[in-house]
Chain A
Amino acid sequence: MTLFSLARKNIQRNLSNYFLYIASMVFSIVIYFTFVTLKYNDDLSALKQSSQQIKGLMSASSVVLLFFIVIFMAYSNSFFMKKRKKEVALYSLLGVRKQKIGLMLFFENLVIGLVSLVLGIVLGFFMSQGLLMILVKLMGYEVVGSLTFSVEALMNTTGIFTLLFLFTSLQGYRVIYQFKLIDLFHAEKQGEQIPRASLVAALLGTALIAFGYYTAASDMFTSKIWRFFTVLGTPLMVIGVTIAGTYLLFHSVSVFVLTALKRATSWSWKGLNLIGVSQLLYRIRANAKSLSIIAILSATTITAGGGVFGMYYNAEATVRQMLPNTFMWKGDPVEISQNDVLYNESLAVKNLRVDNDLSFFEYTLLKESDYNRLAKFQGKNQELHIADGSTVLLDAAYDERFSHDFTGEDFKLQNGDSFHVDKMYTESVLNFIAAGTVLVVNDQEFAATHAEEVKMQVVGLDNDLKQQAVSQDISKQLSTEQQESFSSVPQSYEDSLATVGALLFVGSFLGLVFLAATGSIIYFKILTEAEEDQAKYAILNKIGVNSKQILKTVAGQVAVIFSAPLIVGIVHSAFALLAFSQLFGMNITKPVILWMVAYSAIYFIYYIFTVRAFYKIVRQGN
């Protein structure tokens, strides 16, 4: 019998043991292949046209994805090797040379690699086609994706995974050569010393996280930390600090908390609390690494997803904020089909120029009566009655960090006149494109002000996001000069969807992948532990603990393992998203909370499955 056939038979007979390992390999390959296929897709690149940023985004994402896949594969490989150390020890005990065992495992890995590569690429092909259609839809295009097999993607995937398989094989070799026979037999018993908490590490961990949070939450335009590390360096610094802090948190702070709980005998010596705490403490050091990885992955997923979902959610609001009228342009009216028209007005406004030392600004002067009329059309319950010599400023692009707040000041005009600014609104009644910042004055003042008179057309349509056809119709009738001042809600909305939709797709895709993987990592981990703990629960049953109590303590322990990284991840991402929303000046609380709830809900399903499986394993021991 050759080594190769021994390896092959090994796999055939232990298929169920190998199943999880192969499944996670196939999963990684499917994900990666799908992603690179989308990256190389011709339909998509045609769609993207000018959009260099989507291409950049895809490339950056594939790096993140690759990094993640390396972690995931290394994790499942070491999980798998740990389970097989005994088998390796047995071969060694029977007198097979280490070299031969290594070779056998290498062949085995090769067979597994080939099988999963083929399976992964076939599955990945179908998945990429399905996802492509979703992507196109999210971006708001109506193109049918054709079935194309990307050779580039195939080469890319095969190359990367061949390297990865070599790497995992080496990992296996290392295990065989590094350990002594006696260690191999006790592989499952390692890492079971009860940890002692290190105060320095615990304080350092807390301090690092606090520093990371403080930096993320501070205003990036005024903060000294941001200035010191620069806008590019600071996020990297924050991420590094937070990752290190998270590890120390799970490594030391958790030990402190659990030890304190255990020492509080009035609590811990009640029912099975003692068992729960001790079990957690017993495994915490071995778990620190995986819990930190899970927390970081969750934080990444929630941040990316929350940010992108927030932008998608805000796409319409941003368009409406800037463009309160469906269409607006300077000059004469044009023919518009009468369907859905809510209002179609011709406004006389004046164009004000204000020079300062370096440049000039243009403002639009609007009559109070026109404002009130438009406000009514747009459903704003607001009527202005402005005193002589005063004005109300409308600035849709106002940002407290960059813009000057004129409230209470005198607004000086070129010709020496000035208005007292009573109020400032960030909601305008004129589209920002063409009109810019608007000054509203009463009708007498308007007539008295000397400035260039301009005609503006404002149109409001019902169901405005879908009025692409009307938008094109108007655009065609306008002169080239007029087209520059033409603003259209449906057109702007479509443009922003094309960008944000792609972002949303990439974000949710990576999010789902990370979620599936983090869930699986915890699931594998807890079930391995459950197998090791079977005997313990059998003892408990013998000394008189009923099944209900066992279920309770199992559910409690699993809940801690699940919720600790989730909570840390959510808090991390809350701070990251705070910085994000500051940067883009958006209010994304609602979509972010929605996203967090969705994430936690899926996570909770994993929890239920894990508790059930854990309990089942534990019951088998009785």
Chain B
Amino acid sequence: MTPLLKVQNVGKTYGKGANTFTALSNISFEVEKGEFVGVMGPSGAGKSTLLNVLATIDTPTTGEIIIGDTNLARMKDAELADFRRDNLGFIFQDYNLLDSLTVRENIVLPLAIAKMPTKAINARVDRIASLFGIRDLLDKYPYQISGGQKQRTASSRALVTEPKLIFADEPTGALDSKSATDLLESLSDLNQSQAATIMMVTHDAFAASFCQRILFIQDGQLSKEIHRGTLTRKQFFQEILQVLSSIGGGVNDVI
């Protein structure tokens, strides 16, 4: 079976001449369908750059990214936008909801952009809203709901298109621990019940402990990779803490 996401020797440098800054260098890994992968590392290690590059929001300087059987390096700007629309879902730390739209309309948006018929849209929105427990909020505006509810709305929006690959950038960064746990459990459920492939960037060991596999990044390079295997979530959490303390940095970020 071919992997869903294949990253080969990806590098990203900013600036020109003597003033170059290498954010990523020589990163290679693969993600299978149905995996829940975490990316961790200290601040400035290049986590977000990696996610942006994978998510086609940014372009890599070198290397190849293959999602399914599509090579992203050979695509133009407009094609990339269409590709994102059809294959990828995003969850951001600051929700990125449009405050002029209701919760329902925010979730509808990606389907509307994909020109799906209204009836089908309604069915999908209902299903995803029940999954995240926000059915009662559908007609409210973002400024009327709490942070946790906003993040669940954002997650519903990311998942309603049933994307091949879901990218989450610090999704629990702005949430209290209760809301964070709720959200992570929902994502984990989704991963297990529907075999959704999720890739999550986080600096929070607690959030990372919900993943099955974690990639550690340091100074723009892949430094370590651990699997949860048969460990319980708590045991995995301990293991993550150990790795973090061994590679330095990040520990002080832990709750």
Contacts and interface: CB of A to CB of B under 8 A. Distances in A.
Contact of A544 (B81, B99, B141, B143): B81
A535 B109 CA distance: 16
Interface string A105-140: 000000000000000000000000000000000000
A536 B97 CA distance: 8
A544 B100 contact: no
A265 B115 CA distance: 12
Given A192-B99, A194-B141, A278-B101, A543 B84 contact: yes
Contact of A539 (B55, B96, B115): B96
A194 B110 CA distance: 22
B98 interface: yes
Nearest to B78: A546
Contacts of B112: 268-274
A122 to B, nearest CB: 46
Nearest to A262: B105
B196 interface: no
Interface in A254-287: 265-266, 268-275, 278-279, 281-282
A268 B109 CA distance: 10
Interface string B69-84: 0000000011001111
B188 to A, nearest CB: 23
Main secondary structure of the interface of A (DSSP, over half): helix
A317 interface: no
B88 interface: yes
Contacts of B92: 542
Given A539-B98, A542-B90, A547 B81 contact: yes
A541 interface: yes
A434 to B, nearest CB: 72
Nearest to A269: B112
- Residue picked from B109, B111, B141, most chain A C-beta under 10 Å: B109
A618 to B, nearest CB: 14
B74 to A, nearest CB: 17
B157 interface: yes
A258 B143 CA distance: 21
B31 to A, nearest CB: 20
A281 B98 contact: no
Interface residues of A, number: 28
A544 B115 contact: no
Contacts of A542: 55, 57, 84, 90, 92, 96
B201 to A, nearest CB: 15
Contacts of A64: none
A147 interface: no
Nearest to A282: B100
Contacts of A541: 57, 81
B100 to A, nearest CB: 4
A278 B98 contact: yes
A401 interface: no
A13 interface: no
Contacts of A281: 100
Contacts of B82: 544, 546
Contacts of B111: 269
A266 B118 CA distance: 6
A262 to B, nearest CB: 8
A544 B118 contact: no
Contacts, number: 79
B98 A544 contact: no
B126 interface: no
A545 interface: yes
A545 B113 contact: yes
B86 A544 contact: yes
B77 A274 contact: no
B113 A543 contact: yes
B85 A544 contact: yes
A281 B111 CA distance: 21
A548 interface: yes
Interface in B226-242: none
Contact of B90 (A194, A282, A543): A543
A546 B112 CA distance: 14
B108 interface: yes
A268 B121 CA distance: 12
A119 to B, nearest CB: 40
B85 A543 contact: yes
Nearest to A278: B100
A532 to B, nearest CB: 11
- Residue picked from A265, A541, A543, A548, most chain B C-beta under 10 Å: A543
Interface in B128-157: 141, 143, 157
- Residue picked from B83, B111, B113, most chain A C-beta under 10 Å: B113
B88 A275 contact: no
B101 A274 contact: yes
B113 A272 contact: yes
A245 B115 CA distance: 39
Contacts of A268: 112
A589 to B, nearest CB: 43
A542 B98 CA distance: 13
Contacts of A192: 99-100, 143
Interface string A519-552: 0000000000000000110010111111111000
22 contacts: A192-B143, A194-B100, A269-B111, A271-B115, A272-B112, A273-B112, A274-B105, A274-B108, A274-B109, A274-B112, A275-B101, A542-B96, A543-B90, A543-B109, A544-B81, A544-B88, A544-B110, A545-B81, A545-B113, A546-B78, A546-B81, A546-B82
| Pairs of residues from A and B, 3 with the lowest C-beta to C-beta distance, nearest first | A544-B85, A546-B81, A544-B84
Given A269-B121, A274-B109, 8 more contacts: A192-B143, A270-B112, A272-B113, A275-B98, A275-B109, A278-B98, A278-B100, A542-B90
Interface of A: 192, 194, 265-266, 268-275, 278-279, 281-282, 535-536, 539, 541-549
